[in-house]
Structure 1
Amino acid sequence: MLPQLTRALLVPVARLAFRTVVEGREHVPREGPVILAANHLSFLDSFLIPLVSPRRVAFLAKAEYFTRPGVLGRLTGSTLLGLGAVAVPRGEHRAAQAALETALGVLREGRAFGIHPEGSRSRDGRLYRGRTGVAWLAMASGAPVVPVAVLGTDRVQPVGARFPRPGRVTVRFGAPLRFETPAGSAARARRAATDAIMAEIGKLSGQEYAGCYNELSAGQ
């Protein structure tokens, strides 16, 4: 499907099925590179955010979503491609870094890129510690980071559910954050920036902060 056709078809469906409430769209810059950093409660998140954002958003997505067998698998893969998703193998550091390089290319083209800093979906509803790739992208590209909170997708499509069900979903966009290229320790600066991003996501979502990485989901 062409990206424009995919979006045109899915936007009204999403509004009807999920009674989507969108807050803070004005915080998303209408042009230039921007990173949308969101919490992750459901497979639905990466579909929904590009549909309610005021501009097209490319997202990282697990490579297996693009290769699942059957009609549903092919439909999922083609829809993700239509929404601008970028496949990334899980559990492979070099592949993940290559995906971040691809994301950096998207940002350098002046486009919007979405990422879930937690890495995997939360299975208990808590907000987990973010991986520092989001800060690496922000500092390498100079792009602002818009924190995003998605609420209700874990009820609409819980982990393990094949299909979403009707329900109310809220998407909140926060004020952009900017991070300077560090003069000292790059690793320390990336960690601090990522923690600041996660704190803002937590304010928007109201989730309990776990304070650790989502290791359980990372291997599933």
Structure 2
Amino acid sequence: MLYWLIKLLLAEPVLKSVYRPWVRGLENVPDSGPAILASNHPSYVDPVFLPVVLRRRITFIAKSELFTGSGLKGRLAARFFHGIGQLPVDRSGGRAGAALESGARLLAEGELFGIYPEGTRSPDGRLYRGRTGVARLALETKVPVIPVAMIGTDSVLPVGGKLPRIRRVGVVIGQPLDFSRYEGMEDDRFILRSVTDEVMYEIMKLSGQEYVDVYASTVRGGGRSHGARKDPPPGAPGGRSAPAA
């Protein structure tokens, strides 16, 4: 109930009037039944904008620290994150698999589950190598993976930004990917990598982003940036622009 109250009474009318988000491929999201929506992650505001354009509820996994703030601000933040469909998971102490376990439970209930295969926000607007969790989840649950591209959200809240800017954003949703041909192979690391790379390739085609075959966490952690740019490019990733109003 809280999800729909925030979506319909707060997030949707405000975000639609201010940011005028556009969407392509909405018909690729089924009206019912489970599916994994695998998205690029150029900005922290991505999980705010995607639910706005969908007709169904979608749940993302979020780090538990976002829900444990103190005082009134912390309580309001926790309610907001719950309200936009984010589920707290403690990923410390080797519990990284907790996110996939939660995702599997949601999918078993026929829900939509959102995941960022890159594992973290892009440090420079480019698309980075995907973690194989999305492949393992897809093969274990036998549900389709729908690639998603967030367009222009890194212009709303760029890396290092504190306050969101008013920029038009968009969402491009691709056709569902069926990996039933790999049934029973969820423990084969070569299959997991192949499935993950296929998902990332589809996201790359939708977003127009430059692909970098290293993990984003390596760059964020101070590794080699491979010429990463400091500021996001003008307009959408890959030079794509939003359609006319």
State how far apart, in whole Å, the 1-side matches of 2:91 and 2:186 are.
31
Q: CA deviation at 1:79?
A: 1.3
Q: State TM-score, norm by structure 2.
A: 0.83
- Residues 157 and 206 (structure 1 numbering): CA distance in 2 closer, same or farther, change over 3 Å? same
Aligned equivalent of 2:24:
23
Could you give the per-residue CA deviations for residues 44-67 of structure 1, whole angstroms, max 9, x where no partner exists?
001111121121000011222222
**Contact 1:32/1:111 (CA < 8 Å) preserved in 2?**
yes
Aligned equivalent of 1:170:
170
Amino acid of the structure 1 residue aligned with 2:86: A
DSSP-derived class of the 2:172 partner: strand
Q: CA deviation at 1:172?
A: 0.6
State how far apart, in whole Å, the 2-side matches of 1:70 and 1:209 are.
41
- Residues 127 and 102 (structure 1 numbering): CA distance in 2 closer, same or farther, change over 3 Å? same
Could you give the per-residue CA deviations for residues 154-203 of structure 1, whole angstroms, max 9, x where no partner exists?
11011333332211101010000011224486221111101000000000
Alignment of 1:1-220 (within 5 A): 2-8=2-8, 9-69=10-70, 71-90=72-91, 92-93=93-94, 95-180=95-180, 181-183=183-185, 186-214=188-216, 215-217=218-220
Q: CA deviation at 1:73?
A: 4.1
Q: Give the number of aligned pairs.
A: 218
- Residues 195 and 2 (structure 1 numbering): CA distance in 2 closer, same or farther, change over 3 Å? same
Amino acid of the structure 1 residue aligned with 2:210: E
Q: Which moved more, 1:107-116 or 1:156-165?
A: 156-165
Amino acid of the structure 2 residue aligned with 1:41: P
DSSP-derived class of the 1:22 partner: strand
- Residues 92 and 23 (structure 1 numbering): CA distance in 2 closer, same or farther, change over 3 Å? farther
Amino acid of the structure 1 residue aligned with 2:48: F
**RMSD over aligned Cα atoms:** 1.9
**Contact 1:123/1:217 (CA < 8 Å) preserved in 2?**
yes
- State the structure with bigger RCO (CA 8 A, min sep 6), 1 or 2: 1
Q: Percent identity?
A: 48
Q: State TM-score, norm by structure 1.
A: 0.92
**Contact 1:86/1:99 (CA < 8 Å) preserved in 2?**
no
**Contact 2:139/2:186 (CA < 8 Å) preserved in 1?**
no
**Contact 1:182/1:189 (CA < 8 Å) preserved in 2?**
no
Q: Which moved more, 1:26-35 or 1:48-57?
A: 48-57
**Contact 2:59/2:112 (CA < 8 Å) preserved in 1?**
yes
Instruction: List runs of 5+ in structure 1 lacking aligned partners.
Output: none
Q: CA deviation at 1:87?
A: 1.7
Amino acid of the structure 1 residue aligned with 2:116: H
DSSP-derived class of the 1:96 partner: coil
- Residues 7 and 190 (structure 1 numbering): CA distance in 2 closer, same or farther, change over 3 Å? same
State how far apart, in whole Å, the 1-side matches of 2:221 and 2:193 are.
19
State the structure with more CA Rg. 2
